[in-house]
Amino acid sequence: MGEALLSRLLNRGIYQSSEIIVSEPLSTRRDFFVQNYGVAVTEDNTEVFTLSEDVIFLAIKPQVFTTITQEIFSVISKIHTPLVVSILAGVTLAQLEAGLANLPVVRAMPNTPATVGAGVTAICAGRHAQPHHLETARQLFAAVGEVVEVAESLMDAVTGLSGSGPAYVALMVEALADGGVAAGLPRPIAQKLALQTVLGTATLLQETKIHPAELKDRVTSPGGTTIAGIAELEKAAFRSALIQAVKAATNRSKELGGK
């Protein structure tokens, strides 16, 4: 996700390569960032916190957050006050601020379509973040898709819906294609039909702003094929299964965050 954001920010000219430094422990990855993006690299996290005056983007595993804060403890009180943007799942604003000596923090939850600029990111601001910090975070994530602001108490629900949602949609596309194959379609054609149907429907809903139920009603004619299919989905509790999936993922996010 960090690389996806880096790539989009550079491609859109929001930042120049000369303005960015990436901390990466693996030498092969450092070489990759230099060759592909022309950015400065380091394996020393304190260097990032010493040099950065604008934004520090935390794209690390939540399990190593405490280790990182211990590494930077000696320099964090001597640096400027850059905005820290965190995509660490389950790590709260309070935990981030405590570990980062009360720097301004914005917590974010992007999703995987961000890698192609079609994501959606939920953000929430910490106690020390000012309006201009929140606007900076908006600009960062607008480079990879849509941005919404939510209360931190809703971040687990965001994780359950948009964070985990791409997997649900991918599963649906796979199942639609399997259904096409079961009905006699060649696999490549079934796959293309399923994928484009989901993509086209999402685009139609987004551009027309109509309610999904209204679109469903438009497609469903009396005694037709669509209502026969919908009846089977209702029999299998399709909608209920999706609702329960979001709730289960939300609860798991809370568990991972120690809530």
Domain of 252, CATH number, reads: 1.10.3730.10
Q: Which pLDDT does position 106 carry in this prediction?
A: 97
CATH of the domain at 119: 3.40.50.720
Nearest-angstrom CA–CA distance, 42 and 246:
39
Domain end position, chosen among 108, 135, 155: 155
Q: Which pLDDT does position 244 carry in this prediction?
A: 98
| Domain of 221, in residue numbers | 165-256
23: which DSSP letter? E
Domain end position, chosen among 132, 155, 178: 155
What's the CA dihedral at 49, 139, 246, 151 to 10 degrees? 80
213 occurs within a structural domain: yes
User: Do 45 and 133 belong to one domain?
Assistant: yes
- Exposed, middle or buried, 222 (CB in 10 Å: 0-12/13-18/19+)? exposed
Q: Tell the residue number behind the tokens 């964070």, with chain if given.
A: 163
Q: What is the CA radius of gyration of the chain?
A: 22
Domain total of the chain: 2
Q: pLDDT per position in the chain (259 positions), as tens?
A: 889 889 999 998 989 999 999 999 999 999 999 999 999 999 998 888 888 888 999 998 888 888 888 888 777 766 678 899 999 888 899 999 998 888 899 999 999 999 888 999 999 999 999 999 999 999 999 999 999 999 999 999 999 999 999 999 999 999 999 999 999 999 999 999 999 999 999 999 999 999 999 999 999 999 999 999 999 999 999 999 999 999 999 999 888 777 6
Q: Which pLDDT does position 77 carry in this prediction?
A: 62
80 occurs within a structural domain: yes
Nearest-angstrom CA–CA distance, 84 and 96:
9
12 occurs within a structural domain: yes
User: Do 131 and 169 belong to one domain?
Assistant: no
pTM of the complete model:
0.87
User: Do 149 and 171 belong to one domain?
Assistant: no
Q: Which residues contact 9 (CB under 8 A, 6 or more apart)?
A: 15, 20, 140, 143
